[in-house]
Amino acid sequence: MHTVDDTRDAGRAGEVRVQAARSVVFAMAILLAGQVVAELGHESLGVSDSWELAVEPVLLMLLATVPLYLTVVRSLRQAMIRQLKAQADMERSRRFLHTVIEAAPQPHRVVDLNYTVVLANQAACDTWNRGQNIVGRKCHVLCRQYDVPCHVKGHECPLQEVLRTRRRTIAMCCTPDAAGRKRHMEVTAAPIFDDQGNIVQVIESFRDVTAWLEAEEVAQAENAKLSAMISGMEEGVVFANADNVVVEANTHLCRFVGRSREELTAATREWNAGAARFGSVTGYDGERLSAPLPPWSAA
């Protein structure tokens, strides 16, 4: 994948080659016209043989360079064909990428190293510009209404992180949508390399996690209420989730077992991890098991 600027530069290079080819053809036409004029001047105007002897070697030398000019023109023509093919390949790549991201329901956009959006799907346009095109806009203006890149303001910048690590990265971004509502977005950014292995663009995918974060905040608030409610009880109270992990225990229970809430939670997690790794014991009747013999006792 190449940048829009690369395509423009390639087009300008092709125009220069066309102008050069035209100049070569024009020079050849002048040389041929000079030969015709010389012949007419000799035959019709009676120019002396000395003039002919002086001009003829020059014309012959110039005419001898015609094959060289033709070779140059042929080379320029081949270069133009290669350039046009490269431009066609770039356009096909751009259309393929646009087709891929347009099929995604989440917002996707491609940003160049100047923080300019060069490609965006309809979901991205709907998110930040009420369905209108956002190509050509600055990413930091769209996401945070900043006139400078986000990292200058102290926020995390996926593009800068990709440039630093040269790998895919995930970041969080709080951005207003087209209606002005605050949305929490999980941004997955990945580099786009050119043929020389240089990062030329970054593709960004956005996932709206606002509802998930709001639900988590509600759950935390409910847990805080529950903790406050059971903390004053004189009985030991403990709550576990569906994975049998302690999520809440009151102060009375913690004092009774001599462990903090964090230690109880960590212990149950480690217990579950051990069961998942080694399996659970079934059929045990509760009788005390004898300790295994040490290895040296067998000798």
**Single-letter code of the amino acid located at 198:** N
At 107, list the tokens: 């917002």
| Structure confidence at residue 295 (pLDDT) | 54
Report the 10 Å Cβ neighbour count for 134: 21
Distance CA 146, CA 153 (A): 8
Mean pLDDT for each consecutive 10-residue tract of the chain (299 residues)?
45 55 59 55 50 56 65 79 79 76 87 93 89 91 89 90 93 83 90 89 92 84 77 76 76 80 78 60 57 54
| Structure confidence at residue 5 (pLDDT) | 46
At 279, list the tokens: 């399996």
Specify the CATH architecture of the domain 104-208: 2-Layer Sandwich (3.30)
| Structure confidence at residue 176 (pLDDT) | 82
For the chain, domain boundaries: 4-98, 104-208, 213-277
Cβ-contact 74, 21 below 8 angstroms: no
Distance CA 108, CA 116 (A): 14
Distance CA 68, CA 53 (A): 25
Radius of gyration of the chain (CA): 38
| Structure confidence at residue 284 (pLDDT) | 55
Residue among 129, 169, 132, 128 at smallest CA distance from 151: 169
| Structure confidence at residue 74 (pLDDT) | 79
